[in-house]
Structure 1
Amino acid sequence: MKSHLFKILTPLFFSSVFFGCQEYQQKSEWIKLPSPISAQIRCFAESSDGIYYVGTSELYKSKDQGNTWELIDFQQMPLEVMETQDGSILVGTYRGGIFRSTDKGETWTNVGFANNVYIFKIIQISDGKIFASATFARNGSQKDTQTGVFISEDDGLNWKVTSITAENIKGVFNPKSELIFASGTGENNFHRSADNGLTWSTNVIGIPDSIPVSAMVDTKGVLFASFGDPQDAARTIGGGIYKSEDDGLTWTKSDDGISDTTKVSDIALIENTLFVSTGYPINIGDRGIFKSTDLGQTWKSTGLNDSQIRLIRTTSDQHLIAGSNVSSIFISNNKGKSWYQTGKEIENWSVFQVIENDNYLFASGESGIWRAKKPIREWKQIKKELGSLVKLPNGNILMAEDGVVLRSENNGDTWESISDLKTEMIFIYEIDANLIIACAQGDGVFYSTNNGKDWLKYNMGEYEKNRFRTAIKTSNGTILVGATGGTLRSTDLGKTWDKVDNDFYVWSFVETANAIYAGGFGQGVRRSIDDGLTWTEFNSGLRESDNYLTVTSLCSTSDNSLICGTLGEGIYKLKSNDSLWIEYKTGLTELVNFGIIEG
């Protein structure tokens, strides 16, 4: 590594991959780099006075029909936003509960559900009752934490649970007067009420099991429901569109023109035209916006088909708002015939990885691969697909894109396909000068000893179908791989594997002179002092025993300290030979996710 390095702090969301770090030898100043228009839009609402609200990892509003946006002081991650009949703004969050504002977002009050993981949907019916779905109880929460569908009759101040108490309810919908539906994953988890939520029944026919409803509309007495799981990170479930002509008692598939593997995330209506938003982060099934002008019999693409679109909504002036997974917001003023992008003020660029080569920085995220020449003034997109990057000792760059390994010899101007691993998303790592490892999502672990030109597959045995995230080769030659089922260890160059740490999904390994540290999903940091054979928790100062904490990155510094980046909980430092993590002061605020990477 170079001795004179500067540091970059990247604000990130949910799944993150970081490669290496080194601490500056002198006091340094943090400089925020410019970013392209690239944000993940999770929710949208229009208030009665024409203000648009959108949720990313933060909350924004627009007073000019989406042309410009301003940040709202809101300290949680929004998943749902809506305005009540009394003019209050309710926001459902990730791991924060529901918040209420009566002054257009100037101040906020938590009104419950702080122990629930997701608040995906909040709706209000004509008589003023408000319903919300609260999904899963947080790790370490009180044992009496309730889940399911809840109701409020006082503008969201107080809530009580209905008879639906399943932990995996993903949404609640009111497409038609007196009809309310609640939907989640698992069998018999589609609920129907014909009396505004007083009683519920699961006696419906034709609904697919295990795929939750994402949205519902009513047109000419026919109900349409879009299906797609907001948590389907494995990209294996798909979705579709169904319709009912008997108020939701029986349903039939109605999505001719959309592939069966497509996730349908939202549905909207303008006059007699139906619109749906579709797509996964990678190329599985269809993407973009589809419309139907024949009451759902056939569907045709109407734009944005190179993007995953998370939501589609209509405004009071009959404009269409499309919230994308990576490219912020698109607006159509002509019923989907054309779209324009907005949201340059929304700073939610989701960056997973940054590498430096020659005089360039390369950033990899859900919006693809971006390149900038130093000093950084603007970024140029050089690949539209999510990819994992590795810089080779000879100055070439490798990228893994949907299982295909590509090489660039000219800093990303052109890419050559050198190997097809015939799998889906993979993370690649330069383990040492002679070994590159590719961790696949449910399809094993691959390795290359010739700079990625040729690949072989480790025999993972019974662990083959795990989702693999990261890998390290210790100073003793032992290979460790982080997987959903626990840490796997090989002492014979990958010929055989043993599970050495159950149920801890490791996202990052680092080795020091005396130990190996592993940071990962939900449980903080663990340490091994016997070459990865046994592991103990190492969270003093970092995580209480029952608290949920995801560590996204670990790295060592020149003074043998460790730096720990977390999912939304800041950065911590462990001094050499110490056992207590302390907060690493950066002077930076309003960052959701952290990783220090070599630049």
Structure 2
Amino acid sequence: MHRILFQHVFLHALITGFPMMQKLFFLSLPLLLAACSTPSKQEKDPFEPLDYLWAQRAYPYGFVPSDAYYQALEQSKNMSANRNLGLNWTLAGPTRVSGRISDVAMHPADLQTVYAAAASGGVWKSTDAGHNWTPITDNLPSLSIGDIAIDPSDQNTLYVGTGEPNAGGGSVTYDGRGVFKSTDAGQTWTALGLENIGSVGRIEVDPKRPNRVFVAAMGSLFANNSNRGLYRSLDGGQTWDKSLFVNDSTGCVDLAIHPQNPDTLFAVSWQRIRRPNRRQYGGPGCGIWRSTDGGDTWSKLSAGLPANSLGRIGISICANEPDVMWAIYSDEPGNFKGVYKSVNAGTSWTQVNGGDPGFPGFGWWFGQIRVHPNNPDEVYTLGLDWVKTTDGGQFWADVSPYLHADYHALYIHPANPDFLVAGNDGGIYISENGGDTWEHRPFPITQFYTSEIDFQNPTHFYGGAQDNGTWRTITGTPDNWQQIGGGDGFVTLVNPLNNNIFYVASQYGGFSGTNGASAPSSSRYNWNTPYIFDPLNPDIMYIGAERIHKSVNGGLNWTPISTDLTNGNQGQNGIRYGTITTISASALNSNILWVGTDDGNVWVTSNGGDAWTKVSAALPKRWITRVIADLEDENTALVCLSGFRHFDDIAHIYRTTDRGQTWQDVSGNLPDIPVNDLVQDPSNPELIWYIATDAGVFGTTDGGATWSAENTGLPNVPVTDLTLHAPTRTLAAATYGRSMFRAELPPVSGISGPVQSASLRVWPNPVFDQANISWEQPQAAFVQIDLLDGAGRRVKQVFAGSISGGKEVLILDAKGLLPGLYLLRIQGEKMRVHTHKVVIM
């Protein structure tokens, strides 16, 4: 949710001293964390982030055109930056908080170099056993990574498969863009094609014939397609043939090669398809397949393996005793089904006792098992937690100590099996003593939904993140952040008048404040529930469910001020429609409130909620990501839309200047890309805007007629939220997969000089200590000049008296005034009222 933290919004409160809440029941951070804690893992469905991310981009047609997304990325790369804006982004952090890992890889001959695949943050490389990391795939079209493979015969040759196979959101639900190869340890990359295979579950390189490469492809999650299956290259990825195809709803998710006889290989098929109203995560297409002729022919293994209610499967081979294989099965609903062992290269299997790593109802999220390279009786299964056996499955124990939830990757180094690298939703953990102790060695791949900047202390950034709760900076440096909220983190607000009061949120309306605030009871909340301060008084708050609730005491008590503003509950099978997604209150008129919904409605009230008018009839039917009340004109607002054009000639940003009666397209030359947020530059809010999109940040200096790509320093990931701290002109960008970034906006004087309103001029503008005011007065008259705050309240009388006429020049003394945006108003006898924006620094 966008916020512009500047005195135009809160100035009158700072000056007039609005009474704060009389009683502050401050919670300790542990209590606040508990108030927005993660639901029990049995209750939290890891598909829900994908439901939310996919639903807003797929609405209303029920699919996301990945080709359109990649075309938009290409178009954005060809758009030059605006020299008057020239944003340069730097990492704000957190560097010590990480995110979901989909794979880890090392070369058997190298104990120092580690590669880690982030689900939506690209591939990272460490050359010092994980102590320091560098991203190496930032120029690839997709930073959603499914798997990494290293050529066993050449540690400089890497293969990367894009597209996360776990159906957990990846790069905001977009399919990957194929397979890429590097022959210089990740310095440069070459595209190998397979752009339409959706996601990659595993890549294997033949240890004896390195030009033979296999790719397990899951295909597009939301559509039946013939691109699923196992692909084979005999020339190092220059050309491909399909080695195994089951059907158009079944792909391949895992793969293993017999290290001594690489003509023997094993592939795991997984029948998986997603629809807007149903999921199928299993079926008769699931199974383990074996080839003994290098992939020319395949047979489905069955002896001793389950035959009914099959879900996701994972396999692993013992490197030193490769006839010993292990497999983990889930059933079609996603529950743990069992662990199976073969001692004859898959010809027959026996179920062992135990081995459940915990994934009731969503085994499709994991499907990983690892066997010690030298000891076939030491096995790990990965899930919500992870368990280990050292006696071939007779006894299993939790791996301790607890590190983080949701394990997706594990590498046991064959040259030193005491060196283990584990990847989970919290990042990378490394043990150098066989798992007795672990050290978190993170890199910045947090999937942020939102950003916030403390108005009183702008070095403090806040953000809500997927899987990792809500965080804030302590000292303002990228490596010093503190967790302040649990669960999946969302909107965070800091009271601009008292930063000891702040609010955090978790999924579906979880909301709490350090003052004891909590969310009102309501029927439906969005996954990312919107709530805001009234810009004229932060004791007044609004929160959106299916209707709007208002609080006048900082969220301690709530009163509904609207009926259901959506088209009703339309959710099916985990996907929710019929919720409010965005709220904006006017800083010029406290009675004006704008609301947007996930089913395409925009509403406005002009009387504080007593009556609401639906104003979206002329807008496209898309998920409303943001509605913004204009900073200068109470009749003006901007609306941002998610989704794609599909078959419609539509825009992604619209503007009204008549309170919603008519709308104008202000998308200009923007690519066809979902727009997630918009902020106006208070130095010139009519013309200068910044937007967050799935293709990065764009800016305009002409009110949306033309846009420039402002992505210098930003990795190629979606930007979900922007926050502007106008006094310092600091812009924060929340990214989904690469943590948070910051940029300094150009000085106001770099964009606009003195602006003339009729005959009224103010210069210099911005004003530091004093400024000149001049105007033409045709005849003698009484004149009054006032300086007004954002609420229209007079904060200074500049002049009141009679003048003789002609050109008049006065001095505005700005010393002692708080920085911010003001309005200079001149009125008098025999003259019309003139106003002029003044920025005081």
Please give the TM-score of this superposition, normalised by the length of structure 1: 0.75
Cα pair 1:354 1:597 within 8 Å, conserved: yes
Shift of residue 323, structure 1, vs aligned partner: 1.5
**Which position in structure 2 is the counterpart of 1:49?**
109
Cα deviation 1:127-175 (Å, max 9, x = unaligned): 7543213344699x9x998443322122222112243453663613227
* Rg larger for: 2
Cα pair 1:435 1:448 within 8 Å, conserved: yes
Shift of residue 90, structure 1, vs aligned partner: 0.5
**Which position in structure 1 is the counterpart of 2:745?**
none
Cα deviation 1:472-505 (Å, max 9, x = unaligned): 35876563212xxx32456796999999778744
**Which position in structure 2 is the counterpart of 1:487?**
600
Q: For residues 67 and 228 of structure 1, what CA distance do their matches in structure 2 show?
A: 39
Which blocks of at least 5 consecutive residues in structure 2 are unaligned?
Answer: 10-48, 54-83, 164-175, 259-263, 273-279, 587-591, 646-650, 726-841
List aligned pairs for 1:564-575, cutoff 5 A: 564-567=691-694, 569-575=695-701
Q: For residues 335 and 668 of structure 2, what CA distance do their matches in structure 1 show?
A: 43
Shift of residue 370, structure 1, vs aligned partner: 2.5
**Which position in structure 1 is the counterpart of 2:718?**
593
Q: For residues 666 and 396 of structure 2, what CA distance do their matches in structure 1 show?
A: 54
List aligned pairs for 1:21-420, cutoff 5 A: 32-33=91-92, 35-40=94-99, 41-50=101-110, 51-56=113-118, 57-72=121-136, 74-76=138-140, 77=143, 78-87=145-154, 88-94=157-163, 95-124=176-205, 128=209, 129-136=212-219, 146-161=227-242, 162-164=244-246, 166=248, 169=251, 171-174=253-256, 177-185=264-272, 186=280, 187-196=283-292, 197=295, 198-199=297-298, 201=300, 205-206=306-307, 208=309, 211-213=311-313, 216-217=316-317, 221=324, 223-225=326-328, 239-240=335-336, 242-244=338-340, 247=346, 254-256=354-356, 258=358, 260-261=360-361, 263=363, 265=366, 266-270=368-372, 271=375, 272-279=377-384, 288-293=385-390, 295-296=392-393, 299-302=396-399, 303-316=401-414, 317-318=416-417, 319-326=419-426, 328-343=427-442, 346-357=443-454, 358-359=456-457, 360-366=460-466, 367-373=468-474, 376=477, 378-388=480-490, 389-392=492-495, 395=498, 396-402=501-507, 403-409=509-515
Q: For residues 537 and 132 of structure 1, what CA distance do their matches in structure 2 show?
A: 44
Cα pair 1:516 1:528 within 8 Å, conserved: yes
Cα pair 2:526 2:581 within 8 Å, conserved: no
Shift of residue 82, structure 1, vs aligned partner: 0.3
Secondary structure at the counterpart of residue 626 of structure 2: strand
What is the RMSD computed on CA atoms of the aligned residues?
4.6
Q: For residues 507 and 168 of structure 1, what CA distance do their matches in structure 2 show?
A: 34
Shift of residue 417, structure 1, vs aligned partner: 6.1
Q: Which amino acid aligns with 2:382?
A: S
Q: For residues 663 and 251 of structure 2, what CA distance do their matches in structure 1 show?
A: 35
Cα pair 1:121 1:133 within 8 Å, conserved: yes
State which drifts further: 26-35 or 189-198: 26-35
Q: For residues 250 and 446 of structure 1, what CA distance do their matches in structure 2 show?
A: 58
Secondary structure at the counterpart of residue 427 of structure 1: coil
Q: For residues 110 and 469 of structure 1, what CA distance do their matches in structure 2 show?
A: 41
Cα pair 1:570 1:583 within 8 Å, conserved: no
Q: For residues 205 and 528 of structure 1, what CA distance do their matches in structure 2 show?
A: 59
Shift of residue 380, structure 1, vs aligned partner: 2.6
Q: For residues 109 and 665 of structure 2, what CA distance do their matches in structure 1 show?
A: 52
Q: Which amino acid aligns with 1:180?
A: A
1:107 to 1:488, Cα distance in 2 relative to 1, 3 A:
same
Q: Which amino acid aligns with 2:160?
A: V
Secondary structure at the counterpart of residue 487 of structure 1: coil
Q: For residues 131 and 329 of structure 2, what CA distance do their matches in structure 1 show?
A: 29
Q: For residues 183 and 3 of structure 1, what CA distance do their matches in structure 2 show?
A: 56
1:168 to 1:89, Cα distance in 2 relative to 1, 3 A:
same
Cα pair 2:449 2:489 within 8 Å, conserved: no
State which drifts further: 119-128 or 150-159: 119-128
1:527 to 1:170, Cα distance in 2 relative to 1, 3 A:
farther
**Which position in structure 1 is the counterpart of 2:23?**
none
Q: For residues 91 and 108 of structure 1, what CA distance do their matches in structure 2 show?
A: 9
**Which position in structure 1 is the counterpart of 2:6?**
2
Secondary structure at the counterpart of residue 569 of structure 2: helix
List aligned pairs for 1:433-448, cutoff 5 A: 434-438=540-544, 447-448=549-550
Q: For residues 86 and 193 of structure 2, what CA distance do their matches in structure 1 show?
A: 42
Q: For residues 499 and 258 of structure 1, what CA distance do their matches in structure 2 show?
A: 46
Cα pair 1:97 1:110 within 8 Å, conserved: yes
Q: For residues 67 and 241 of structure 1, what CA distance do their matches in structure 2 show?
A: 38
Relative to its length, the structure with more strand (as a share) is 1
1:215 to 1:550, Cα distance in 2 relative to 1, 3 A:
farther
Q: For residues 420 and 292 of structure 1, what CA distance do their matches in structure 2 show?
A: 46
Shift of residue 99, structure 1, vs aligned partner: 0.8
State which drifts further: 385-394 or 103-112: 385-394
Cα deviation 1:322-379 (Å, max 9, x = unaligned): 11323x3111233333211224xx3334433232333243233233332334654732
1:175 to 1:292, Cα distance in 2 relative to 1, 3 A:
farther
Please give the TM-score of this superposition, normalised by the length of structure 2: 0.55
Q: Which amino acid aligns with 2:675?
A: V
Cα deviation 1:48-99 (Å, max 9, x = unaligned): 4313211232322233333433443652213311013453311112433211
Q: Kindly, what percent of the aligned residue pairs are identical?
A: 16
